Structure 1
Amino acid sequence: MSSLAQLPLAFSRRRVLMVGDLVADHYIYGQTDRVSREAPVLIVRHESSEVKLGGGANVAANVRALSGKVTAVGVLGTDEMGRALRELFAEADIQLSAVSARDVETETKTRILAGGVSTTRQQMLRLDRGQRGPLPPRLRRALVKRVEEAAKEADAVVVSDYGAGVVGEEMREALRALAAEGMPVCVDSRYSLSAFTGVTVCKPNEPELQSLVGRPLRTEAELLEAGHEVVKRLRCQALLVTRGRHGMALFDAKGGVDLVPVHGAKDAVDVTGAGDTVIAAFSLGLAAGGGFGEAARLANVAGSLAVQKLGTATVARDELLGELRGTR
């Protein structure tokens, strides 16, 4: 691990451009001890609430926690959640280049967590708000322009597409152009990975890979066949498949495959947001001059640290270095 541990030392001198859906993760905490007489539902007495950086905003937060510089491009409304996210970006020292409009609602996921006295709060309900349908053409054009400008100062681009409309076909064309010019463009797309042809790296998880090929992947041989097939279909230089407790599989355009075993022996505590940590560490590894294999191993270790934390969490560079050096 000694040579791998050198890469994070360069993170603070690298800038990553994050393009994607900026999500407000809104948590409401409460106590419940009775059922309503109006309907068979629990009554929750409000205790506290908080907003965290979610979606692409969490990817940007992970890049910054790993000491990388980061510029985040996306869409925010002028509403309460948009203002809250702007404050959080400033606190995290993330350069924000957001397009705003009064008729756009900030993408928000409100989770209500409740429990009895002295018990752990459990999620009872999630309410989603945000943009319905495609963004107006003027906003899409403005986003592409901001990405093209910000890319001039970036060492790598990471795309976090949660399907909220930021990454449409105009944006994908701009990203393909950047990749063709030699910029590392790493894509994590929840629903539309098949549309991201011609970028540098695509990062599906195993169920997403299975969906891409349209058949179950029951054996390692079937996984390998699917990975090679998708690399050719997407015309990417590499495909990084996250496999949970089975680690990762890295495929390249030359037909190579690197099976990376899961790091550490501890069971996952919470996998929420771990994919954001993985793509952030991977893109920083490439920005720092590492190859696909080195970046994948860095991301594997970072992801193993993220799943040991509750909720949406980030991993600091010193945590990663400590784990790589065996000093944690």
Structure 2
Amino acid sequence: MTIARNTEYRNQTFALEFILLGLTDDPELQLVLFGLFLFMYLVTVLGNLIIILAVSLNSHLHTPMYFFLSNLSFTDICFISSTVPKMLINIQRQNNAISYTDCLTQMYFVIFLGGMENFLLAAMAYDRYVAICHPLRYTVMMNPSTCILLTLFSIISSMVDALLHSLLLLRLSFCTYLEIPHFFCELAHIIKLSCSDTLINNIVIYLATFIFGGLPFGGIILSYVQIVNSVLKKPSIRDSYKALSTCGSHLSVVFLFYGSVIGVYISFSVTDSTRKTAVASVLYTVVPQMLNPFVYSLRNKDMKEALRKLCGGIL
């Protein structure tokens, strides 16, 4: 086991490396995990790339909803690429060390890309709200400029959130054995290793979670409350079903992402096992990103047709 060494200067520590303990210490299980996560990573990258290609090459899918979907797919590829490849390299090399710089960089991208996914899901909910509640004004309200602005807002907001946590982390000193009971550098676990006063960091985490996580989630809930009210006012059951069917894929992805996040935080609060929490975190850092392409391709007729044309063109 490598022991991290620290050099303190002006109350700040420059740690040479952290130790990622991963999901298990069992060598046989590590080989199983290597194969499993490699498979999940390849499926995620391939599935989301196919979604991006299908949207790009099919002119019928050049709409706001699929514009946000292609951005979500790109975000999913980057999100899983920020954690899983490093884990696979560590298992292959049988070396769990990660440098201080690489650890902070990984943490930054996890927060940034997780926030991007959060905001994009909110933008997609707003798109469905406008399409169902204001169909006659849809092309005006969801014009290309609005879509680009919503995407830029998602990028900038997520970047500010990640940068804020990273800068606050730089002020901390690390005086202990730097073992992270996780398969990637997760913010809460890094803060626990510090021997500095982390009150400000914890306060910022709660505030940022409310602002950058709670508000988009609240926007999604509010959008669907308005959608349900609008659908209930429709005289025809067929029209109501048709309106809700366009939300099915998005709702599935929302439940998958937020359900897994909430489940992880509940498990974090009720269990003392950090390894169990690390295993549970796979539910929001790997599983949703892998399943999103399947959810949209299986539940969406337009996407099915686009994928059929894409596969036919390739063959």
TM-score by length of structure 2 reads: 0.29
Q: Which has the higher helix share?
A: 2
State which structure, 1 or 2, has the greater radius of gyration over its C-alpha atoms. Answer: 2
